[in-house]
Amino acid sequence: MYEHNVLRTESAIETRGLGKRYGDLWALRDLDLVVPAGTVLGLLGHNGAGKTTTIRLLTTLSTPTEGSATVAGHDVATAAGRVRDSIGVAAQAATVDGLLTGRANLELIGRLYRMSARDARLRADELLVRFGISDAGDRLTKEYSGGMRRRLDLAASLMVDPPVIFLDEPTTGLDPTARRDLWNILRKLVAEGTTILLTTQYLDEADALADNIVVLDHGRSIAQGTPTELKSLIGGERLEVAVDDASLLAPAAEALLPYTDGIPEQDAEARRLIVPLRGRVRLVDVVRSLDAAGVEAVDVQRREATLDDVFITLTGTPPAPSEPELAEEAA
């Protein structure tokens, strides 16, 4: 197997006051990160929150306006070449060439990294097997399914066995089975010591993969911690109440005020109310209060807080489907 000789440091990624400004707009400001080697950091945030800007800065595609950052021990501003030798990048859209075979795509990437033809061929063969697409290695990638293209794109980012990988929305557009398959591949990489920084709009993905999470909002970090720590910030349990008519949501919220420990979230389209619970609450008391208020509930259930709850509490709205960040369009 081809081994790329790159020092693997205890902290794979560090930033101090990192910021980027486009004209009068700050796309990112005062970002402090310490990402230990062999872990996954998830970046969460709305479109334009600064996720893609962060990746562009850390992968040397953009230069910081303020602050500093190191990746695999190398400064992104003064040692950009060494940083690029130490990383793999998979962008939101697959970047493989549809007019080349899967094998040819990988060998091309290897040659661009100055690998010998023999090493590039051996590494390509190894990765095709590892990602379960060896049978399609000699087919044109334009014939691949979306899941296969994403696997090949990730394989391309690993051609030189980089210690750090950046994944920008890695599973966007994939079906649930393809997503789970890719998750398993990423878990194996981390178990072998690879560090991953990923952005995602799928909060269950961040919950399943990330050791630590940073929530960005309007270019600033508004929360950092493990998934469990972030959930604990907003309390442990939620009550979900479903009704037949959206007009019943307001009276239901009022009826449940004695049990709430925060502002109830009303989803008129889904005709659903989500209430942060205060202490120990019996469902029978909840049902009685709703009945006394004349609210006929279709369903009432208690559950643990999720990262969706954290995101909505911190930013006000759920994440939206991915689109290019406005700041990056201005670059």
What's the CA gap between 80 and 31, in Å, rounded? 19
Residue 99 has pLDDT above 70, yes or no: yes
Residue 7 has pLDDT above 50, yes or no: no
Whether 242 contacts 301, CB under 8 Å? no
Domain 235-304 has CATH 3.30.70.100: yes
pLDDT in tens, 23-42: 999 999 999 999 999 999 99
Domain-wise residue ranges, the chain: 11-231, 235-304
Domain 11-231 has CATH 3.40.1390.10: no
> Could you give the count of Cα atoms lying within 13 Å of 106 in the half-sphere of its Cβ?
33
Residue 273 has pLDDT above 80, yes or no: yes
Residue 233 has pLDDT above 80, yes or no: no
Topology alike, domains 11-231 and 235-304: no
pLDDT above 70: percentage of residues in the chain? 92
Task: Identify the burial level of 278 via C-beta atoms within 10 angstroms of its C-beta, where 0-12 means exposed, 13-18 middle and 19 or more buried.
Answer: middle
What's the CA gap between 177 and 166, in Å, rounded? 22
Give whole-number Cα distances, 17 to 64, 67, 89, in Å: 10, 4, 23
* Average pLDDT rounded to a whole number, residues 272-282: 82
Q: Which residue has the higher pLDDT, 331 or 112?
A: 112
What per-residue confidence (pLDDT) applies to 58? 97
pLDDT in tens, 107-139: 999 998 889 999 999 999 999 998 889 999 999
Residue 3 has pLDDT above 60, yes or no: no
Residue 326 has pLDDT above 80, yes or no: no
Residue 203 has pLDDT above 50, yes or no: yes
What per-residue confidence (pLDDT) applies to 119? 94
